[in-house]
Chain A
Amino acid sequence: MGALSHIRVLDLSDEKGQMCGKYLAQLGAEVIKIEPPRGDAARQKGPYLRDQPGPEKSLTWLGYNANKKSITLNIENPLGQQLLKRLVQKTDLVIESFIPGYLAGLGLDYDSLRPINPRLVLTSITPFGQTGPYAQYKASDLTITAMSGFMFTCGEADRPPVRISIEQAYTAAGVQAATASLLALYSCSQINEGQHVDVAIRECLPTGGFEIFFWDSEGYIGERLGARRRRANVYLRDLWPCKDGYIGWRLMTGALGAPTLYTLIEWMDSEGLAGELKGVQWEKIDMTQVTQEQMERWESIIIPFLKQYTKAEIYKVALEKSMMMAPSYNARELLDYQQLIERGFWVPVNYEHLNATITHPGAFCKMSESPPVSPQKAPLIGENNLEILIDELGLSGPDLVSLREQGII
């Protein structure tokens, strides 16, 4: 049983807020997705299972709505609003990601819901926050990432800044909005009062690398360095090419970096390929004194050596000899990585109606007393209408038919 098994969440959000409820569900909360009668717009986002578009087949939607329930409700209709308000009475947390002002227009904003349930927490997840000059800006993952500062230093100097190709902004926001929601619920346990939580998605992304310190100290604005990082006066690689891809490794001197260098150079030397690297006293070299030319000379010796070996071969030696190197994996390789398999990180989820088994990442951490809930399949549109609307709100079968005919569910 998860830590939050006593908490009920209504999730009114679209793709911008869906990860918040997903993580709360994984921690044991009962999360009910409230979809418009035709389904959440985020169900129309590719890629799809077997590349066949359809509201039940969006792979991002399945991933980010695992463990939730779904009911349909047209909240623009007065009757739909009434039903929502009845649900809100028995709810701890509402998550929404509409344009600021939209819920107020429907009489469903925090101030309107508070009288119904004074302990309610309402978490709003929007690109720039509820108020202020950018509050109404149209935005997407790409534009939010651009505005956040996380992109300016990503990519290569001769090309435009780039984002990570797997969208980050809404996931970053979901995790942090979940934490903020729990803070508000914790506060409610102290002061017996709910509140409105206003999360700005842009502020959920890091503002960049570590430039904030360099800006403070020397007014330095970060550069786009591709696979390299700046350290003191040199641009050094953090990714090194090998036979079948790349290795993550920071060439560091001094006490921290020397052991890895000695081990690597011993290996190179056993093949007569260590060149001028042999005999260097790495722990005595001060990185701030290394020049770019020197670094590139070292690289020109190391890279041809690494290129003889695969990621797996290099990582095997790294594990045996405690070298601080790691393979740069793609999705397929990480799914096959023994450490994650043995930790039970990957969980196959059966989608019977789609005739497919799809592997999801499991819990984001291990908790000894309240283990997170294993991923379960994301719901169909309105899959839990009967359970919630009839069993819980006491509507009758004919009520449901009538609501459906009016386009409310």
Chain B
Amino acid sequence: MGESPLKDIRIADFSWSVVGPSITTFFSYYGAEVVKVESIHTPEVTRRSAPFKDNLVGIDRSLVFPTLNTNKYSICLNLKHPGGREIALKLAKWADIIVQSATDNTLEKLRLNYEDFKTVKKSIIVLNTTSQGQIGPNSNHPGYGDAAVAMAGFPEVTGWPDREPSLPPGAYTDSVTPWFGALAIMAALEFRNRTGKGQHIDLSQLEAGAHMLAPAFLVYSANHVVPMRNGNRSASGAPHGVYRCLGDNRWCAIAVTSEDEWKAFCRALGEPRWTKDPKFVTQYSRKKNEDELDDLVESWTASVTPEEALQKLQAAGVASGIVKNIRDLHNDAQLNHRGHFQKVKHPEVGEYTVELPPARFSQSAVEVRQPAPRLGEHTEYVCCSLLGISAEEFVRLHSEGIFE
């Protein structure tokens, strides 16, 4: 493993909750130095989220916060205090990138938007991510993850056609938006490298979500058909679904989308008689009799474990998988091979798990350097060592309540 590609990049992170912090953590894995700006008066919401270590509520005891903020420094800053704002601008001068997650109203009140930062650092890159973006009639409407999930259109296309919609796991736009945010920042860095110019990035969580459903909009626009939820089925073929296996809540996924795969599927099952039934011999007939087909497939899967099903189906060349839960993933040979889960030791929380990003590089290293910070753990370090504030000055500012 070689160097960390972003070892010279500095990020001042004014964001909170999930989206912004996920973006800056991503960059920290590739060597970027990240200062997280927090406040004692309105602590980061994920510091206040269950579960807590040993069920004891405490500002440094949430297990949610560490996974989203590994590798960062934490500084407490009262941005409403003029002296706090001064320090924020010093951070902007120090940084290459600033990440925020606040509506325009808030940033204007604090006088900490892109224009303000630009006055102290011309080449600064500022990304702000909000529920519906920074401009537009509804940009100041308060939002949170699941509202953006609903608006983007995920529930309507998730679940069973004969039931009410299901929600995708987590607050899915909170997972999706950081991917797009990281991409935008990398593009902006590339642009700055070439031109010396910084810029402002306005990232709407609703729009990022809509990008994940792009085909739905093309389909409606072209064919005037509204795509709806259809369980696990696919227009490309059958059987195509998730089937019950031996064991409690254990399932396998099977996707047959061509005649060759169907033949392979029949081989894997040992060519039972029903596979020769005219009802199932063509793609068209299988789609037409899909309910009956699914029952027959399940009569086989129910007699084997998902591991046995996978082994037989993969040996025959059929796209197939096990529906893995979080425990299965921790025991997954491939994820372990790639070092996907990493353990980090935290002074209050103890050992916790982080997941590394999905790419492996032949030259660039991924770094898990230090656990997520305790609230304000690095206030003095950041001020005195990174921003060059003298010890006397720090004490004076401290007594004014700026670091709260």
Contacts and interface: CB of A to CB of B under 8 A. Distances in A.
Interface in A1-43: 2-4, 6-7, 23, 27-28
A403 to B, nearest CB: 29
A306 interface: no
Given A166-B227, A334-B210, A206 B169 contact: yes
B334 A164 contact: no
B323 A146 contact: yes
7 contacts: A59-B215, A146-B324, A164-B157, A166-B216, A168-B212, A190-B8, A327-B150
A356 B251 CA distance: 43
B133 A366 contact: yes
B150 A328 contact: yes
Nearest to A194: B363
A45 interface: yes
Nearest to A20: B183
B138 to A, nearest CB: 4
B201 A365 contact: yes
A358 interface: yes
B324 A165 contact: no
Interface string B1-25: 0110110100000000000000000
Contacts of B397: none
Contacts of A368: 114, 199-201
Interface stretch (A83-91, A239-247, A384-392): A239-247
A156 interface: yes
B324 A162 contact: no
Interface stretch (B70-78, B217-225, B367-375): B217-225
B233 to A, nearest CB: 8
Contacts of B243: 160
Interface in A173-221: 173, 175-180, 182-187, 189-191, 193, 195-204, 206-219, 221
A308 interface: no
A114 to B, nearest CB: 10
Contact of A196 (B2, B198, B208, B362): B362
A357 B164 CA distance: 33
Nearest to A60: B215
Interface string B133-148: 1111111011110111
B190 interface: yes
Interface string B32-43: 000000000000
A319 interface: yes
A171 B217 contact: no
Size category, A interface: 35 or more
A222 B51 CA distance: 14
B175 interface: yes
A46 B236 CA distance: 7
Contacts, number: 489
Interface in A326-356: 326-335, 337-340, 342-343, 345-346, 348, 356
A154 B168 contact: yes
B234 A153 contact: no
Contact of B326 (A155, A207, A241): A207
Nearest to A2: B187
B207 interface: yes
B179 A163 contact: no
Q: A-B pairs with the 4 shortest C-beta distances?
A: A248-B150, A143-B321, A203-B358, A180-B359
Contacts of B168: 150, 154, 164
Given A183-B30, A366-B133, A162 B232 contact: yes
Nearest to A128: B334
Nearest to B233: A165
B160 interface: yes
A241 B146 contact: no
Interface stretch (B82-90, B282-290, B312-320, B384-392): B312-320
A306 to B, nearest CB: 13
Contacts of B355: 203, 207, 212
A189 B6 CA distance: 11
A91 to B, nearest CB: 16
Contacts of A211: 326
Nearest to A159: B160
Nearest to B141: A319
A345 B207 contact: yes
Contacts of A165: 157-158, 227-231
Nearest to A245: B156
Interface string B321-364: 11111111110011101101000000000011101011111111
Given A3-B191, A6-B194, A132 B338 contact: yes
A160 B232 CA distance: 9
Contacts of B273: none
A364 to B, nearest CB: 5
B299 interface: no
Interface string A228-271: 11001000001101000111111000000000000000000000
A49 B223 contact: yes
A187 B63 contact: no
B154 A164 contact: yes
A140 interface: yes
B1 to A, nearest CB: 11
B364 A183 contact: yes
A359 B218 contact: yes
Interface-central residue, B183, B200, B234, B253, by most chain A CB under 10 Å: B183
A331 B255 contact: no
Contacts of A23: 183
B53 A142 contact: no
Contacts of A360: 214, 217-218
